[in-house]
A and B are shown apart, each in its own frame.
Chain A
Amino acid sequence: MARKETVNTLVALLATFPIVFFLSLLFEGIDRKIHARMQKRIGPPIIQPFYDFIKLFNKERIVPVTAASGIFTAVPIIAAAVSILGAAIPIANLIAGTSIVGDLILVLYLLVMSSVMVMIGGSSSGNPYGAVGFSRKMTMIIAYEIPMLISIASLSFNPCFSLAYYDIVSTQIRMKSLLVFTRLSMAVAAATFLLCIPAAADVVPFDISEAKTEIIHGSLIEYGGPYLALIKLAKAASNFALTFLAATLFFYLPVLFEGYVSLGLGGALFLCLVTALIFMLFTITVPRTIFARLKIGQAFKFYWLIPLALSMLCVALSIVGL
């Protein structure tokens, strides 16, 4: 019996990778559709990202003469792999109902890794715009990554939490309450994390590193065909992972339902995905619809003024036990 369950779990875990692939592209499609509707456009069909992916994959591979070809070609594959892995870990943890201490740090590391990979790919392309994109992305990472990491790390300051993903989810189940409502510090942490998502997802107003009208997509400038498809997949997967993390870490909605057990794993996952979708709407789709792009200095100032201050506040509150 136990063995059968183990096999089932294993199959489910293996299935998370295609599921992540499917969900992240689907999320991107929904994002594009809502974005278009908000601009009074019809917009592409929701499965457009799948079409794009397939079409790009069938295109020619072009490596510029000036590029360091080894790095240039390896980088998209690594970026896609790490961000899919980063997105799969939380889902796999939910399915398996267990996790290792420190996996939250691993997930965040994997998500940054995919940005860094794209950045390196841009700088290895030998294009001056790639270099400008590199320096801008580097600045942005310094700006948003610190508050983001602090907000996650501050979870472990609480006595009953650790840096294991499933621990935090199960604590929410035990306390029958969303994490944001348990303590003031957690609400601040959630706010910080959500504020950092637009920068991590590279959307307007923080898409400075790949500003289309300024530096022609920065790091992505020389990429095309299968490489571009992989990078787009990496971005979609990391956006999905970020919103899914926010939805499950701070707002694990299934606990609000009385018969939590009757909801089942499928129901709980579905509810989490819906929450993630709503977060994506408010942290990615809405900002990129209603804002203009900031300049690098302005964005940096914003992140070091508000989210960083918030994350510091969060640490301070955690220490005094609020």
Chain B
Amino acid sequence: MADESDDAKEIKADYTRLRVPFGPVHPALKEPISLKVTVRKEEILDVDIRLGHVHRGIEALAENRNLIQTLYLVERICGICPHSHTTCFTQALEEISGINPSERALYLRTLIFELERIHSHLLILGLMSYEIGFDTLFMFCWRVREEVLDLFEGITGNRVHHAMNTIGGVRWDLTPHLVEKVNDSLKKIEKSGKYIYDMFQDKTVEKRLCEVGVLSYNEARELCIVGPSARGSGVSMDVRRDYPYAAYSELKDSFSVVLRDGADAYARTEVRIFELLESINLIRTILDELPNGSISMEESVLKLMRKIPEGETVSMVEAPRGELLYFVKTNGKEGLRRLKVRTPTFINVLGLKPMLIGGEIADIPVTLASIDPCIGCANRITVIDEDKGETRVINSENLRWRGKKQ
């Protein structure tokens, strides 16, 4: 007992340690996440990560709605990769009900998917340069991104939430005029993409990114890190190649998985830049090989929805940030019994701790941006008791118990 209190005193007297709250509100964070960082001078000794500031209860909400309503609800999980979420969800529904969308619909899905990847990667490349204080590159990346958003608007009518997917197909078709427009824009984006790559090889940028936030191959494997963050550490995984969905099985020769061994923030950034260029090539192939046919089922979506039987399935897509997984369990009465969303950030956040410890304060924003976190996607039920200062995470068992009680 006496020893313990002595220890406590010793820690109290350690004035060289400073506990810096990083977030939930911080200019480097686009979404609220809270890092409690213990530092000695500039070195990071320990990190405590807290999520739960933007929990929206979407999974619970989905269980009270019909499937079409849920389709538009899951689109709202993320404002950057909404198409990934809807694709994942519709795929699950189609698997349960045995609907096979037409080839053309699958190709169009893939097209939007890759455009979304370009837009998401440009966004994070911009943010990355903003975090290292390179505002000009930030402005440039986002200017290029406008090009993609305009394409979305041209194709689907919406810039952010495209609402492209529907059960059994897609909602909008490509006209020859649009194909030409996409091709024109791709040329511009490719040119800018190469320019961005040159810019990232600038000395001051390299100085800030190399050897920062190192996550070794083994750590990445152990923590099951996904997406570009994993590929930056040399883990060869890509749902598009490993478990092809949409039109990827036909297109598997038109793209390659970008791998880097650097394991630092620079490697992860490089992976994104090259994936962006890969996506451009992939879209060109899609436009060339676009099959003819209808884009959706003849039956109305409501009729299709009513036919969906009771069943459960797991669906996976490679969102721009990594593997996105849905568990869908329908109740056979137009609704859902359970929806479980596992977003890439939810897993990648775990990688932050090994990345941050041993680094400097100046590296926190860079490291955070290098995993491309989407906090809104990753929040789970967390009860924060402000008065007691307690945080409780409610797990599934606890939830079930609460459900019984009601």
CB-defined contacts of A131 to chain B, threshold 8 Å: 18
Tell which of B83-91, B219-227, B359-367 binds the partner: B359-367
B181 within 8 A of A: no
B41 within 8 A of A: yes
A298 within 8 A of B: yes
A291 touching B204, Cβ below 8 Å: yes
Which label, helix, strand, loop or mixed, suits the secondary structure of the B interface? helix
CB-defined contacts of A135 to chain B, threshold 8 Å: 41
From B18, B27, B42, B207, give the contact of A128 (CB < 8 A). B18
> Which of the four size classes fits the interface of chain B?
20 to 34
Nearest-neighbour CB distance to chain A for B157, whole angstroms, equals 27
A205 touching B204, Cβ below 8 Å: yes
Count residues on chain A whose CB falls below 8 Å from chain B CBs.
29
B129 touching A292, Cβ below 8 Å: yes
Contact residues, B159-180 vs A (CB, 8 A)? none
With a 10 A CB-CB cut-off, give which of A41, A208, A290, A292 has the most chain B CB atoms: A292
B26 touching A293, Cβ below 8 Å: no
From A39, A211, A295, give the contact of B135 (CB < 8 A). A39
Nearest-neighbour CB distance to chain A for B210, whole angstroms, equals 12
B20 within 8 A of A: yes
Q: How far is the CA of A288 from the CA of B139 in the complex (A)?
A: 13
From B18, B143, B360, B365, give the contact of A40 (CB < 8 A). B143
A263 within 8 A of B: no
B361 touching A291, Cβ below 8 Å: no
A128 touching B20, Cβ below 8 Å: yes
Nearest-neighbour CB distance to chain A for B16, whole angstroms, equals 12
CB-defined contacts of B277 to chain A, threshold 8 Å: none
Cβ contacts A204-242/B at 8 Å (1 or 0 each)? 110110011111100000000000000000000000000
Contact residues, B103-146 vs A (CB, 8 A)? 129-137, 139-140, 143
Q: How far is the CA of A216 from the CA of B29 in the complex (A)?
A: 11
CB-defined contacts of B139 to chain A, threshold 8 Å: 39-41
CB-defined contacts of A298 to chain B, threshold 8 Å: 207
Contact residues, B1-38 vs A (CB, 8 A)? 18-21, 26-28
A38 within 8 A of B: yes
Contact residues, A36-61 vs B (CB, 8 A)? 38-41
CB-defined contacts of A211 to chain B, threshold 8 Å: 133, 362
Cβ contacts B177-220/A at 8 Å (1 or 0 each)? 00000000000000000000000001011011000000000000
B18 touching A38, Cβ below 8 Å: no
A292 touching B134, Cβ below 8 Å: yes
28 A-B pairs with CB atoms under 8 Å apart are A38-B136, A39-B136, A39-B140, A40-B140, A41-B139, A128-B19, A129-B20, A131-B18, A132-B39, A204-B133, A205-B204, A207-B133, A211-B133, A212-B27, A212-B133, A213-B133, A215-B361, A216-B26, A216-B27, A292-B129, A292-B134, A292-B137, A292-B204, A292-B205, A293-B134, A294-B207, A295-B207, A295-B208
Since A38-B136, A215-B361, A296-B42 are in contact, a sample of 13 more A-B pairs with Cβ atoms closer than 8 Å, ordered by chain A residue number, is: A39-B135, A39-B139, A128-B18, A128-B20, A129-B20, A208-B362, A214-B28, A214-B361, A214-B364, A293-B208, A294-B207, A294-B208, A298-B207
